[in-house]
Chains A and B, each alone.
Chain A
Amino acid sequence: MFKVFWSVLHRDLLLAMRRRTDVLTTLFFFVIVVSLFPLGVGTEHAVLRVLGPGVVWVAALLASMLALERLFAADYEDGTLEQLLLTDQPLVLLTLAKVTAHWLLTGLPLVLIAPLVGMQYRLTDTAVAVMMVSLLLGTPVLSLIGAIGAALTLGLRGGGILLALLILPLYIPVLVYGAGAVTVGALAFGDARPYLTLLAAFLVAALALAPFASSAALRISIE
């Protein structure tokens, strides 16, 4: 069972390595969006410090959305998705493998690059630490929830914009608590603990429920 999880994960990572542009696009999109704000609103430190957490989190949502459309679409077009649905393994496991690959390619890079973009907003060291932890807990939730939308809009014309309309409202709690954690935790890491705990709870709930929802959606979409 884990062998199958592993081989699907390995396949998706291998495919991404053969098409590096897709991964880099997401990352550059994130960096550019975050960098545009200081240019637009000026370099007043106090203003940037207030804006920073929200901007970084909104950019993370959008960057995660950007790659979602391709999550199942490529497999759908070449027929490999059909074959995934016909294996004797639980589809939930295969969906989870695909979501994990998506997170490793789009979520994890954002976590790692967060300190760099944080510097543009004069965030304190503690705030940057909180931001990394909150992104580490929050971005997998984005991938998990996003996969449901990606599965539902599979094969639809104009699916991309519909996906955004479906999924972005569901991202709101993650955005509120993610950005909230960074704002609150600017001075002491401990202050952000309730927010981070809630984000962790979101992650556990999403891990338990979202793969089932996306598997069900995939079975509907493949008809």
Chain B
Amino acid sequence: MLQAAKLECRRGDRLLFSGLDFTIDAGTLLHVRGRNGSGKTTLLRTLCGLFTQEAGEVYWKGESIRTLAEDYRSDLLYFGHLNGIKGDLTGVENLRLAATLDGDRVGIDAVWSALGRIGLAGFEDLPTRMLSQGQKKRVALARLILSRAPLWILDEPFTALDMDAVNLLQGLIADHVAAGGLAVLTTHQEVPLTAGQARHLDLGA
């Protein structure tokens, strides 16, 4: 489904990786590994189409993501280093907006229950700038509960989360993959999820 062909990325003069080939099919979890600065985030951003590669191409269902453009983006959920939530808006407002932008028609009840499930019951109505780092991350991750996108690209989703949240998130990703979804993630934390049936891709090796 998602295929990278002879992918080469540079940051300035520095070559991060070249000739990178891989294909992942429905129901696969790909764990991208590598040292700091080996180009994991750049690879993930390239897969999203946020970063333009030097050479090579990314294909989704056999077509280049450049030609698919909006059709590809509707199948994609990206979770980056930045949470992508507004500090002046409440958790509910942030999540509703994110869902609308993702093209998901979700009711207000679904938003409240998603925030409850991610462990933010009682904090739904507070401006997110008043929340802790981990709680902000939880607000952002609540999108995963509402999302129907088949491809999840998650950059370091486990940082700043406590054990409960890490377990919850692992469950979400495992369910998504079991239901035939695709997930690409990076993490430096050893979690059972990535030790299991996940495929691995080593950068800078």
B-binding residues in A (CB < 8 A): 3-4, 7-8, 11, 14-15, 18-19, 77-80, 82-90, 222-223
User: 22 A-B pairs, CB-CB below 8 angstroms?
Assistant: A3-B100, A4-B100, A7-B97, A7-B100, A14-B93, A18-B89, A18-B127, A78-B86, A79-B83, A82-B82, A83-B78, A83-B84, A83-B98, A84-B101, A86-B50, A87-B102, A88-B70, A88-B74, A88-B102, A89-B70, A89-B101, A223-B51
- Which of B's residues lie within 8 Å of A, judged by CB? 48-52, 70-71, 73-74, 76, 78, 80-89, 93, 97-98, 100-103, 127
C-alpha gap A88/B103 in the complex (Å): 7
CB distance from B52 to the nearest CB of A (A): 6
CB contacts (< 8 Å) of B97 on chain A: these are: 7, 11
| Chain B residue contacts of A7, Cβ below 8 A | 97, 100-101
Complexed CA–CA distance, A85 and B85 (Å): 14
Contacts of B86 in A (CB 8 A): 11, 15, 78, 80
- Complex alpha-carbon distance, A78 and B84, angstroms: 5
Is B82 in contact with A78, judged by CB distance below 8 angstroms? yes
List of A residues within 8 angstroms of B48 by Cβ: 86
A218 to chain B, nearest CB (A): 11
A90 to B73, CA, bound (A): 10
In the bound complex, what is the Cα–Cα distance between A222 and B48 (angstroms)?
A: 12
- Chain A residues with CB under 8 Å of B84's CB are 78-80, 82-83
Shortest distance from the beta carbon of B104 to any chain A beta carbon, whole Å: 10
**Pairs of residues from A and B, 7 with the lowest C-beta to C-beta distance, nearest first:** A79-B82, A88-B74, A79-B84, A83-B84, A87-B101, A18-B88, A88-B73
Contacts of A87 in B (CB 8 A): 73, 101-103
Given A4-B100, A19-B88, 11 new contacts (CB under 8 A) = A7-B100, A15-B86, A15-B88, A18-B127, A77-B82, A78-B83, A88-B70, A88-B73, A88-B74, A88-B103, A89-B101
